[in-house]
Amino acid sequence: MRYLIVIAFLFPFLSHADKIEGLAAEHVGAKVRLLKYDDYMSRKTIELAAATVEADSMFTLNYQIEETIEVIVEVGNVYGYMYLQPGQDYQIGVPIEKGAKTSAHRSIQLAFLELPPKTDINFLILDLDYRIDGFLGNTFDLIADKEWARRLENFEAELTNIYGTVEDQYFITYMTFRLASLELVGNPQMEVGMRKQMVYDVYLKNSPVFRENGAYMQLVNSFYKNVFGSILAYHERGLMAAFVTEDLDSLKSMLSQHAYFENGPLNELVLIKGLSEVYMSSQYPKSNILNMLKEIKNNAVFEPNKKIAANMIKKMTKLVRGYPAPNFKLKSDDGSIVGLEKFKGKFVYLTFFEEWSQESISEFKIMQTLQKRYGKHFEFVSICMGPDSNSLDNFIRKYKEFDWTFLNGYGHEEIKEYYDIVAYPLYFIIDPEGNLYQVPALSPSPKGNYESVDKTMYQINKSLADRERSRPPGMGGPPGSQGHRD
């Protein structure tokens, strides 16, 4: 469970609707982002607002929403979850952490600096989750016993009595499908198939599709596991033929012949989930699956599913060779703002590092040789993800001999998400068209690979040199590889 700590605290906040005011004493100068999930299947996030933690440790996020939503508040390299209701302002704090600082992107518990009213969505969900956790803790040993079903029925009646006057539709939906997930956990009076059918009939079959509600989507994702694997025994040849010929209608037809596929808008959503599962399994041609998702993106019967299909395509092709490298806009050591487009026309050897890392410094010394050897066709770009805003400046002052492009990544936590960064140093090669060429790239030193990026650069350099020699006089244009095109 993700909880919010509620702290009663007198604080001089100004009140204004659609605003979060916050205190983050350990994060002065850090970027603050207010994010929400664009959809709960791909879990792509979109930015609603941004700010900076000022010198007095305060920040303000202004936003406009029309309905209750779950959001993520990201402050520097930490983040926490909360809910927002239209017309309600909030005062939160980022707790001071004990121990040494780390640049790892990590979850924290946000604190309310002013008690929210009992009708606030945060209070309601915190209270509900606390009660559900208590119920599970007290009855866990009884899940395989008939007594558990009776206690669950009583617990559901108790919750209905407690929250019966709540009018917030988000909370009502959230509670409904949290209880549905409990029904799915266990009821010894029913066989597994019967229990699943009961949950489908009661909660999913005739229900609207609540794509924006985390509890609903959690139930859908757990209910529909291994979508095509569940019908493989009945349609093995048909599935193979459909994936080979990119026959989306045939897939829909096969799914519709089975239980749990009677809700049209939900069926299309589950189809997207099934295609993404198959893509990750490598059981069928990946390019064909992407083409089928593109068909849904362009022609989905239910409009919201177009966005989800598009987001799934981006997720599935993220950091895949031949697809565009995630772009960024970062401040360089000379103060200018730099993005990948600056280097178009040349290969880029991209490095993510931390200021204090001796391993990175050792690799940079080898990169000096690589730069001299392959600088004609390669740009060397290193992004410092140090623990504070001065990390890059400190590094440049200490190591003036490294004379390629250095960028300051501090406060840009989105880059860690873009490039799936969990450890440093990390390397990528990007081609002259801005597409990923080697993911991740080899390091300057061989390490345990028995080969280094020198081999890759040598092969690229040789290929480009041969091409230049064979090019007829007057033929120009930047050397490079042809990237993926939709």
Same domain, 13 and 101: yes
* Confidence at 449, pLDDT banded by 50, 70, 90: low
Which among 287, 316, 345 is the end of a domain?
316
Q: Report the domain count for the chain.
A: 4
- Is residue 475 included in any domain, yes or no? no
3-state secondary structure of 149: helix
Are both 131 and 161 inside the same structural domain?
yes
- Tell me how far the alpha carbon of residue 142 is from its chain's centroid: 36
pLDDT tens, 218-233?
999 999 988 988 887 7
Domain interval for residue 240 = 229-316
Same-domain check for residues 41 and 167: no
For 70-106, b/e burial (b = at least 16 CB within 10 A) is bbbbbbbbbbbbbbbbeebbbbbbbbeeeeeeebebe
Q: What is the pLDDT of residues 193-226, one digit of tens each?
A: 788 899 999 999 999 999 999 999 999 999 998 8
The answer to whether residues 335 and 464 belong to one domain is: yes
Confidence (pLDDT) at 6: 44
Among the candidates 116, 148, 172, a domain finishes at 116
Residue 42 inside a domain? The answer is yes
The three-point CA angle 153-170-49 to 5° equals 145
Classify residue 486: in a domain, yes or no: no
Per-residue pLDDT for 14 more than 60?
Answer: no
Contact 309, 270 (CB under 8 A): no
Pick the residue with more confidence: 177 or 388? 177
> Do 234 and 185 fall into the same domain?
no
Q: Are residues 112 and 181 in the same domain?
A: no
Residue 89 belongs to a domain with what CATH number?
2.60.40
| Dihedral sign from CA coordinates of 243, 247, 252, 255 | negative
Determine the Cα–Cα distance for residues 66 and 378; give it in Å rounded to an integer: 48
Does residue 180 share a domain with residue 198?
Answer: yes
In a domain, residue 17? The reply is yes
Q: Is residue 194 part of a domain?
A: yes
| 414 and 352 part of one domain | yes
Q: Answer yes or no: are the C-beta atoms of 333 and 392 closer than 8 Å.
A: yes
Supply the pLDDT for residue 280.
82
Instruction: Let me know whether 182 and 72 are in one domain.
Output: no
Q: Where does a domain end: 86, 116, 146?
A: 116
Query: Looking at the structure, do residues 428 and 402 belong to the same domain, yes or no?
Result: yes
* Any domain includes 276: yes
Let me know whether 215 and 267 are in one domain. no
Q: Answer whether residue 64 is part of any domain.
A: yes
Q: Is the pLDDT of residue 9 over 70?
A: no
Query: pLDDT tens digits, residue range 156-193?
Result: 999 999 999 999 999 999 999 999 999 887 665 556 67
- For the segment 105-131, the average pLDDT, to the nearest whole number, is 89
CA distance 51 to 29: 10
CATH number at residue 449: 3.40.30.10
User: Is 213 inside any structural domain?
Assistant: yes
Which of 312, 441, 449, 305 is closest to 378 using CA atoms? 441
Strands 426-430 and 405-408: unpaired
pLDDT tens track for 328-369: 999 998 889 999 999 999 999 999 998 888 899 999 999 999
Token pair for residue 224? 């529909």
Q: What is the mean pLDDT of residues 304-321?
A: 93
What is the end-to-end Cα distance of the chain in Å, rounded?
Answer: 40
Is 88 a residue whose pLDDT tops 80? Answer: yes
pLDDT, the chain, mean: 88
Question: Which of these ranges, 7-11, 95-99, 113-117, 358-362, has the smallest mean pLDDT?
Answer: 7-11
Percent of the chain topping pLDDT 70? 90
C-alpha distance from residue 133 to each of 2, 127, 160, 432 (Å): 12, 10, 17, 53
> Which ranges in 422-483 belong to alpha helices (H)?
453-470
- 338 and 457 housed in the same domain: yes
Averaged over 147-164, what is the pLDDT?
91
